[in-house]
Structure 1
Amino acid sequence: MLLENKTAVIYGGGGTIGGAMASAFAAEGARVFLVGRTPAKLDTVANSIRDAGGQAETAVVDALDASAVNDHIDAVVEKAGSVDISINVISHEGAFQPLADIPTADFVAGISKALTTQLITTKAAARHMVKQESGVLLFFGGSDHANAIPGLGNVQVGMDAVESMRRQWAVELAPHGIRTVTLLTGGVVDAFPDTPEFAAARQGIMDASPLKRAATTADVGNVAAFVASDKGRSIASTQVNISFGACYG
């Protein structure tokens, strides 16, 4: 198994993307700790993992509360002995509109929440990884400067900001043996709501790929598990493109 004896913490672990990553990590032998704010969603993912023979635990934690996040990660390390993988895939209020139509407060609020939770959760994990002199910090979404399209509002701006933060973490943490990697996607089609308005978005994502395909949640989980494993140890301080060629990053 790729992740045997590894400990993974997934913030937003009850969501579609977070759940897919958690399931993939657990299937490869990791002990996963799912963090979120909705117990029912966390329990659904955890029970599915346990039914498949994996190890999963849940915790209700507000990722905007630094004290709560730090208390939780300390408890994980005390119980499991280490934190080897950490990823934050918490969804935030994105405004898919032309920039001119978004109220300033709404534009700033979405990006602020994304950056704040990423900073808090990454700092918490990094504190232990530095002591261990090892660990993998995964990020999701990525920055694709070559393919800017209208109507993304503050969503792509927020992802660009997170990717900038990831690059800064990389140069500061690499000397401690910590890898930082972003999964660059052009959109994960089966994570979208099944509505007519999103049907067009799904088709647009597939049309942007030379292969006319798009990543699924299973693809995201499988790639994340490999990147986080020792077999992916040479992948560091970079983005991994899982967009079927739609993104150029």
Structure 2
Amino acid sequence: MNIPRFLHQPLRRTALLLAACGLSAVAQAAAPSPAPGHVPDTIEQRVAACIACHGREGASSDQGFFPRLAGKPEGYLFNQLRSFRDGRRFNADMAHMVRHLSDDYLREIAHYFATLDLPYPAVATTSDASADTLARGKALVMHGDAARDIPACVQCHGEALTGVQPGIPSLVGLPRLYLSSQLGTWVTGERHALAPDCMAEVGRKLTTADINAVASWLAVQPMPADPHPLAAPRAPLPLRCSAMNP
């Protein structure tokens, strides 16, 4: 077949272009695929799932339900993780996340959050609770109720309510809903600790009105200048408590 001369150059260019494309495709096929993104094997990366509920680095706000983890006593955090794993506390998400984790791993997680030193958000200083309810809450927190053998919260959680090492948590800087729900689980027996279970003993003596009053008052308390837990109790605790032996 004779091809007209004026078509020779376009056909030649087309042939060269096809050849170049073929070589390029072969070169691309022969080149190694780029390595997938590297995920660092660090404790920060491994606890990233906690952010969804507890806030970035465990520093949740004082609104909503989920508690702050950052800066809590390491022993307290370890005990709670272990309780979720072993069934003394129940939350479906928490139980699912920790059910297969060892004590050593739980301690590593607890240590990570305990050593975070992050600022607390501003606390809303107004409440829809009545003045009488707030006064009742303050009285229980600061003085307890001797007639009902209920110790003051400050006797165990510290004068500033920021917790006590190694295993007693802060009560300030927490959402009202979380405080009331957790006090309620002690009352109903849904939450337990290792023996001696001091909070279960206290919880059995609380009423719904007590819980609402205590949670309402605590939720509007500003954070003290030093929000860190005390290094040790200032005086003997009123009850024997496993929290001091995590």
- For this structure pair, what is the TM-score category when the shorter chain's length is used for normalisation? under 0.3
Give the structure-2-normalised TM-score: 0.27
By percentage of residues, which structure has more strand?
1
Give the structure-1-normalised TM-score: 0.26
